[in-house]
Structure 1
């Protein structure tokens, strides 16, 4: 047996550590969405306003997971020239460690890539989330996901899959809006 081989439990523990670290120090997180709840609360007592798509600019998408309470606004800037590339990808939001870590890993994976490459990675990540913990049959696809592969264990838990996919759905929607604004 290989002395460097990890047991399933050791691998799961390492994946959990990567997820927690990415959630503690998230990449691409910037405060840019208006804090609508506190703005309106100061004007109208305890009024609470939920951010919605009407507050989003072109290239921006607000996503909400009612199951877990995760919320993220994803902002994408796409190059003018073809093939379009993702020049900037930032997000603002809050939620569980899985959603925050997934957003962070997504930024690392897709920023600077062509839109086609980013959509391919989003599709690959989605397939990983459908794997029910088994991973992907394609070793090359797993390598493309880099740190994103740590979410393989999350795919065993149907209630957590939406947490992991939240940012990816926001990125896809943001890219579509950014491209539509250019045409």
Structure 2
């Protein structure tokens, strides 16, 4: 099996059996993002305990890439601290914006390396990044809300 076929298989597995799908309570912040290019949508909730990501839940509609990316996001950030999760986001964003020229860091991205091929198609990069941008915004809101409550 070649690498591209393996990556396609990983994406399809996450699409067919999404990890973390379904909106759950409790949560500190919820955002709704839409990819205007293709119409993919996601509503994403973040549940934190201090700076630890306890849960990321979501309801998504759209292509297999956007939905699989949300599943991978859940796997990669739940259980990490917010700074660790943001570091994973940076690594994923670098991969997506590298137009297929960036060697993915498997130690950091795990199944996220499957999106290396997507980076070669600029129109699909927004699909892969949709959930990640929603997570970044929801996490920023949750951290802001927590710091305002702590005053």
Q: Given the two structures, how large is their TM-score scaled by the length of structure 2?
A: 0.91
Deviation digits for residues 116-153 of structure 1 (CA, Å, limit 9, x no counterpart):
000000000000001111233xx7x3321000000000
Measure how far apart 1:158 and its partner are: 0.3
**Hey, what does 2:146 align to over in structure 1?**
182
What is the RMSD computed on CA atoms of the aligned residues? 1.5
Within 5 Å, give how 1:70-149 maps onto structure 2. Answer: 70-80=40-50, 84-136=51-103, 141-149=105-113
- State the secondary structure of the residue aligned to 1:78: strand
Q: Residues of 2 paired with 1:75 and 1:132: CA distance?
A: 29
Q: Which of 7, 23, 41 is equivalent to 2:15?
A: 23
Q: Name stretches of at least 5 consecutive residues in structure 1 with no aligned partner.
A: 1-5, 33-56
| Number of matched pairs | 145
Aligned partner (choices 28, 39, 48) of residue 69 of structure 1 = 39
> What's 1:167 paired with?
131
Task: Measure how far apart 1:178 and its partner are.
Answer: 0.4
Matched ranges for 1:29-48 at <5 A: 29-31=21-23
Deviant stretches of 4+, over 6 Å: none
Matched residue of 2:76: which SS?
helix
Runs of 5+ consecutive residues of structure 2 not aligned to the other structure? none
SS at match of 1:112: coil
Asked if the contact 2:20/2:74 (under 8 Å) is kept, the reply is yes
**Of 114, 133, 148, which aligns to 1:150?**
114
C-alpha distance in structure 2 between counterparts of 1:66 and 1:173, whole Å: 17
